[in-house]
Amino acid sequence: MIQRIAYFILAVALVAPAVSAVEPPEPEVLLQRMIDAVGGDAFSKLGILKIEVSEEEIKRDGDTDVDGFVAYVDTADLGNLRMELPGDVVVARIGADGWSTTAGTLDERPQTPSMAYRALNQSLFKLLMPYSLQMEGVWIKEVLEVPWEDGTAWALLLPFTKGFFVSPVLETTWRVVVDKETSLILAYDFMPPYQYRDVENTGVRYGILAYQEIEGAKIPSRVIAVGLTLDEQEIGTYRVTKSELSIHDTWAPALFINPKRLEAIEEGAPPLP
């Protein structure tokens, strides 16, 4: 009887699926590997990155929408961001101080600083991976091993500080799937929070189709976003975002600082609160 049990255990061991003996890395360790895989600290040394963005969305009914904007990113401090939108609209922030102008006129509504901060995060977070994982308000929670295609990959789980995005549907735990060997991003996705699924029952999966290398830093230049059902099936809607990347001349205070504050500084008055 004992011999039969031993044979049975051996047979089960031979046919059982292999289980990875490698423990998932600590989140901070994996993040550093991801940064190293695309050039390490080369990105933070670029200065002001100019991004000319073109977005094309193809819907299930075949209709196509095309949009675009120009962004400026302080690569040494991802709290300094600016977008120039159609209609002579500028949205910018330095740290948490967001602002917006239309045709040069400052929008002084009380909600504008918060909305500008969120709009910039929502538009640029997904285009600056993996560097944007270092933005304030992004939390590196844990790393799990997940099945991916014919093998397994690491999945970095990301919750966000409330108010990081404009849309509350995006304020859920995102997943960044990372190749174990190269530490490059395979995909990143999210599903809507449970409390919003009655009104929004689709998620999004992003993939980096191409990088552009600038002075040793590899930056996503083509990103695809695919709509997903709650069981992760594609729904036939997708968006391709193309970025033309270049280095802007110099760091200029007017790119990021609220014009009213900048005027006060230049006149020698105490900065506005």
Euclidean distance between CA atoms 187 and 202, whole angstroms: 17
Euclidean distance between CA atoms 49 and 244, whole angstroms: 10
How confident is the model over 164-194, as pLDDT tens digits? 999 999 999 999 999 999 999 999 999 988 8
Residue spans of the chain under pLDDT 70: 1-21, 60-62, 268-273
The pLDDT of residue 175 is: 97
The pLDDT of residue 58 is: 80
The pLDDT of residue 15 is: 45
Residue 89 exposed, middle or buried by CB count within 10 Å (0-12, 13-18, 19+): middle
Residues 56 and 248 sit within 8 Å (Cβ to Cβ):
no
Task: At 138, list the tokens.
Answer: 């992004």
Please identify which residue in the block is written with the tokens 């089960």.
12
Fold of 24-266: outer membrane lipoprotein receptor (LolB), chain A (2.50.20)
pLDDT > 70 in the chain, percent: 89
pTM for the predicted model, two decimal places: 0.86
Q: Where do the structural domains in the chain lie, given as residue ranges? A: 24-266
